[in-house]
Chains A and B, each alone.
Chain A
Amino acid sequence: MLRLRIIISCLVVGLTLNAASGRSNWVIDPKKTRISFAVDATGWPKTKGVFHDFEGNISVDFEKPKQSRVMFKVRTGSVDVGSDLLASLIRSSAFFNSEQHSEAVFVSTGIEKTSAKTVHITGNMTLLGVTHSESFDVFVDAGLADKGRLGYKATGSFERSKYGMVTGIPVIADVVDLEITTEQYEQAN
Chain B
Amino acid sequence: MNKQTETLPDQWDAPARFLHWVSAIWVLGLMGLGLAMVNLVKASGLKFDLYQLHKSYGFLFGLVLIVRLTWKFIFHRRKISNRGFLHQAAIINHNLMLLLLLTLIASGYVVTCFSIIPIPIHVFGWNVPSLLSPDMLMEQGAISVHHMIAFALLALVLVHIGAALFHHFILKDKTLIRMLK
Residues on A facing B (Cβ under 8 Å):
44-48, 81-83, 85-86, 89, 94, 167-168, 171-172
Contacts and interface: CB of A to CB of B under 8 A. Distances in A.
Contacts of A167: 116-118
Contacts of A85: 48-49, 52
B contact patch SS: helix
Interface in B20-78: 42-49, 52
B44 A171 contact: no
Nearest to B119: A89
A44 B47 contact: yes
Interface of B: 42-49, 52, 116-119, 136
Given A47-B45, A82-B43, 13 more contacts: A45-B44, A45-B47, A46-B44, A47-B44, A82-B45, A82-B46, A83-B44, A83-B48, A83-B49, A86-B48, A86-B49, A168-B116, A171-B117
A171 B119 CA distance: 14
Nearest to A89: B119
A contact patch SS: mixed
A94 B116 CA distance: 11
Contacts of A86: 44-45, 48-49
Contacts of A45: 42-44, 47
A172 B117 contact: yes
Nearest to A170: B136
27 contacts: A44-B44, A44-B47, A45-B42, A45-B43, A45-B47, A46-B44, A47-B44, A81-B44, A81-B45, A82-B43, A82-B45, A82-B46, A83-B44, A83-B45, A83-B49, A85-B48, A85-B49, A85-B52, A86-B48, A86-B49, A89-B119, A167-B118, A168-B116, A168-B117, A171-B117, A171-B136, A172-B117
B47 A94 contact: no
